[in-house]
Amino acid sequence: MALLVLVSAVPASLQFLLVLRATTWACLLCFTTYTERLGICRMFGVEGPKVDQCEEAFTGAFQGLSDMEINYEERSHLHDTFTQMTLSLQEEAAALGSFEVAFPAAAEKMKTAILQLKKVQPCIPPCGIQEVSRRFLCHGCYSTLCDLPLDCPVQDVRVSRGDQALFSCVVGFTLPEEEVTYSWSFAAGLRTRDASYFRDMPRARGYLARIRPVQPTHRGTFCCLIQHDQRPLARLYFFLNVTGPPPRGETELQVTFREVLRWAPRDAEMIEPWRPSLGELLTRPEALTLGNLALLAAVMAFASASATVLVWMFFRWYLSGD
């Protein structure tokens, strides 16, 4: 009741300023200066102590929600709109209008203009630096991004041994069109997001990664880092769990080799380069690569030169005896 009595005691023009709750008050302070607002008041013929009252009426007409968010890309457009508003107020002041009427009318026009701006794109969870969702906050005159972490949750991938594993480094939000790079790393045997366990995979490039055939040594967490102009946008994690026994034919072949060649079991799988013998080079045409042909020619030339030197030394020894 006391509030109603207080409001009823206020002049009608000021009551309108108090009731009006347009959403552009804080934006007015971002896109106009105190000097500009005082200059408009003076153009309306306000002088002396009443200038401050006019400036307060100006900002009061634009009071509203201070947490208003604007699409960051529309910031320059909004600045131009406020510039047009100040020009319109100057024209109205030159026409001997009243600021009590002009200010609320200008606030309503600005509110309509802001509602027509391109909307702020929503943040798409659960992760990522989403530049397309950057918004401008009028209550502090600054921009901000979505409050989402850079690291995405770990995705579990279950693949049978011998099959193919495919990882797709794709996010739900729109990425920049240019200068986007992908880099991959691997944490062997662990389901983790701790960067200290990962080792770079320099040969892996692009947003798709494929492993075939999958082996038990591939069990672990694969990480994909998306960057734009060397700035990280998101880190995706894929935990590969290899299931199932090895194929029967592979098991039997390993047992046969171990029995024939008496191989001892090894703790870790190791890939060794193939070094063919001379007989294999001569009997297997596919082994005669350019490198192997060059090596074979060098060996034959060395053997021929060695034989020539030995014959020459023998004859010198024989002749020296005579």
Q: Specify the CATH number for the domain of residue 220.
A: 2.60.40.10
Is residue 286 in some structural domain? no
Q: Is residue 145 situated within a structural domain?
A: no
The pLDDT, as a whole number, for residue 28 is 85
Contact in structure between 99 and 54 (CB atoms under 8 Å): yes
Q: What is the pLDDT along the chain (322 residues), one digit of tens a residue?
A: 333 333 333 333 333 333 333 345 578 888 888 889 889 999 999 888 888 889 888 888 887 544 568 899 998 998 999 999 999 999 999 998 889 899 989 988 888 888 888 888 999 999 999 999 999 988 888 899 999 999 999 999 999 999 999 999 999 999 998 899 999 999 999 999 999 999 999 888 899 999 999 999 999 999 999 999 999 999 999 999 999 876 555 555 555 555 555 544 444 333 334 455 555 555 555 555 666 677 777 778 888 888 888 878 877 777 776 5
Q: Do 105 and 161 reside in the same domain of the chain?
A: no
Q: Is pTM, for the whole model, over 0.75? A: no
Q: How many domains does the chain have?
A: 2
Considering the domain architecture, whether residues 162 and 111 belong to the same structural domain is answered as: no
Domain boundary among 243, 278, 313: 243
Identify whether residues 232 and 161 lie together within a single domain.
yes
Q: Where would I find the H helices in 262-289?
A: 278-283
Residue that terminates a domain, selected from 243, 277, 312: 243
Domain-embedded: residue 165: yes
Q: Is residue 178 in some structural domain? A: yes
- Under a CB-based contact definition with an 8 Å cutoff, are residues 232 and 182 in contact? no
Q: Which domain holds residue 201?
A: 151-243
- What are the Cα distances from residue 194, in Å, to 150, 197, 226? 13, 6, 17
Per DSSP, helices labelled H in the chain are 2-8, 12-19, 25-31, 34-43, 50-61, 75-94, 99-115, 248-261, 278-283, 290-321
The confidence score (pLDDT) of residue 24 equals 52
7 located within any domain: no
Q: Is 298 within a domain?
A: no
Q: Are 156 and 222 in the same domain?
A: yes
Would you state the pLDDT for residue 175? 93
pLDDT at residue 14 in the model? 34
Q: What span, in angstroms and rounded, lies between the C-alpha atoms of 295 and 288? A: 10
Is residue 198 included in any domain, yes or no? Answer: yes
6 belongs to a structural domain: no
Residues 166 and 236 in one domain: yes
The answer to whether the CB of 117 falls within 8 A of the CB of 77 is yes
The CA distance from 91 to 232, in Å, is 49
Structure confidence at residue 203 (pLDDT): 85
Residue 198 and residue 186 in contact, taking contact as beta carbons nearer than 8 Å: yes
